[in-house]
Amino acid sequence: MKRLAAFLVAIMVFGGLTGSPAGAAPARLPGQTQTICINTPPATGWMITAYFDSYTCGTPGSGVYNAKQVTDVRDTPSGRAVTACQMPPPSGFYATSWSYSVACEASKTPNRLLNNLQAVTNLNGVATGFTIVICGIQNAPSGWELLAVVAAYQCIYPHGGGLGQNAVSIRKR
């Protein structure tokens, strides 16, 4: 057993020493996060996951936070969801639930009027027949069919608001 462990460690060390070809781009880590200042828009495919103060972005002290944490969601597998603060999701991602998070309040005096944390699901590359409920009354995306306009508890946007018709059920063609 010790020999097997030593052999596996040697292979990992040797693999790490060989590296990537010269000029190759470094691999992106799935779910990679970084801090950016509040006035900097997130890059395409990145979503805001928290607001806070950071001395890197100036002296904290106003009524709003001066920094935000952003996460790269581009490597999210098809059909899987990630959570992020309320903002337009990347192409092919759709809101599938809403909830409240103090981390998603840009203001230091949260009003808690709206659910500000969304689960967004990657619908890029899902199989034919895949069915899902997406929040909001909207047309089905290209390549999908609209099954029904529905009342979905997970899609209530006003914090503590009523249910009503607030989502659509869709199926991949």
Query: Tens of pLDDT along the chain (173 residues)?
Result: 444 344 333 333 333 333 333 333 333 455 799 999 999 999 999 999 999 999 999 998 888 999 999 999 999 999 999 999 999 999 999 999 999 999 999 999 988 889 999 999 999 999 999 999 999 999 999 999 999 999 999 999 997 788 899 999 999 99
CA pair distance 109, 102, nearest whole angstrom: 10
pTM (2 decimals)? 0.79
Beta bridge partners of 134: 168
As a whole number of angstroms, the distance between CA 119 and CA 93 comes to 10
pLDDT at res. 135: 97
Residue 140 CA to residue 137 CA, distance in Å, equals: 9
Task: Quickly list DSSP for 84-127.
Answer: EESSPPPTTEEEEEEE--GGG-SBSS----B--EEEEEE-TTPP
Q: 60, 66 in Cβ contact below 8 A?
A: yes
| DSSP code for 131 | E
